[in-house]
């Protein structure tokens, strides 16, 4: 079919994860076509998403009729029904969808999804579990990880209080970089060598995941 606007994204499965993805995309002004075989869910999201269709996405003919080949990007948010998840990714891949994101429940499930054509496999429960573990054990309040490298929001540790960053030796001693800082109630700003952190400040730091975890465990 004709190409859709790149702003238009296909979401399969309107369970908890899929509906959260779809509604967030709408908030970001994207167009979302969603498919779910459950009539009740289709009904529930009909007025909130651009287009909602009831169909079984393991049925290639049904997918063809819906014109899924015209989407550049798709999210397959079917989790518990592994067979349906795999067949849907396979069908979208064969239809030529260029960027397929798929939710996996287990690493084995994720491995199969990658094999049948998912370009990005996400483990939302594992990722959130890891995040919560960090939040409850340290001052690591929020973090993003990219292949062993992390960006995190932490409370300024006592070792930095009152010392200009340029003299703190954070890079040589802790192997992290302080990217941003904010005092309570204020906005984040970039740091420079003269920046001085105080008790209660929040920092955005970057470095290897190990270094970031270590640094965030310092007393604050």
* Number of amino acids touching ligand ADP (CB under 6 A): 20
Q: Which residues contact 64 (CB under 8 A, 6 or more apart)?
A: 95
User: What is the distance in angstroms between the CA of the first residue and the CA of the last residue of the chain?
Assistant: 58
The answer for 169, left when phi > 0, alpha when psi is -120 to 50, beta otherwise, is: left
Question: Judged by CB, which is closer to ligand ADP: 57, or 195?
Answer: 57
What minimum distance in Å lies between the beta carbon of 76 and ligand ADP?
9
172 belongs to the binding site for ligand ADP (CB under 6 A): no
Residue 75, Cα to own-chain centre: how many angstroms?
12
Residues 20 and 27: beta-carbon distance below 8 Å:
no
Candidate segments 11-19, 154-162, 190-198, 206-214, binder of ligand ADP by CB under 6 A: 11-19
Restricting to residues 66-125, which ones interact with ligand ADP according to CB under 6 A? 77-81, 84
Alpha-carbon distance of 198 to 140, in angstroms, equals 17
Under rule CB under 6 A, which residues in 13-52 are in contact with ligand ADP?
13-18, 35-38, 41
* Pairing of the two strands 149-155 and 99-103: unpaired
- Let me know: does 71 contact 63? Beta carbons within 8 Å: no
State which residue, 47 or 80, has the beta carbon closest to ligand ADP: 80
Residue with Cβ nearer ligand ADP (60 or 69)? 60
Q: Which tokens go with 66?
A: 């819906």
Instruction: Name the residue with the smallest CB distance to ligand ADP.
Output: 15
Count CA atoms within 13 Å of residue 170 on its CB side.
30
Judged by beta carbon, residue 19 or residue 155, the one nearer ligand ADP is 19
Which residue, 55 or 179, has its beta carbon nearer to ligand ADP? Answer: 55
For residue 98, the minimal CB distance to ligand ADP (Å) is: 21
Which residues contact ligand ADP by CB under 6 A?
A: 13-18, 35-38, 41, 56-58, 77-81, 84
């Amino acid at each position: 079919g004709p190409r859709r606007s790149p702003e238009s994204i296909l979401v399969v499965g309107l369970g908890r994860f899929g509906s959260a993805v779809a509604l967030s995309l709408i908030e970001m002004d994207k167009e979302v076509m969603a498919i779910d075989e459950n009539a009740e869910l289709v009904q529930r999201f009909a007025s909130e998403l651009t287009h909602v269709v009831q169909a079984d996405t393991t049925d290639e003919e049904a997918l063809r009729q819906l014109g899924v080949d015209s989407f550049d990007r798709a999210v397959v948010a079917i989790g518990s029904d592994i067979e349906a998840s795999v067949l849907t990714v396979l069908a979208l891949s064969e239809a030529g969808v260029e960027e397929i994101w798929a939710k996996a429940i287990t690493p084995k499930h994720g491995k199969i999804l990658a094999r049948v054509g998912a370009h990005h496999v996400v483990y939302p429960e594992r990722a959130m579990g890891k995040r919560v573990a960090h939040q409850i054990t340290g001052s690591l309040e929020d973090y993003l990880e990219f292949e062993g490298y992390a960006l995190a929001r932490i409370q300024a540790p006592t070792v930095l209080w009152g010392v200009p960053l340029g003299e703190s030796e954070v890079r040589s001693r802790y192997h992290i970089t302080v990217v941003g800082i904010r005092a309570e109630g204020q906005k984040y700003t970039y740091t420079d060598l003269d920046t001085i952190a105080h008790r209660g400040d929040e920092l955005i730091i970057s470095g290897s995941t190990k270094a970031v975890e270590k640094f965030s465990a310092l007393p604050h």
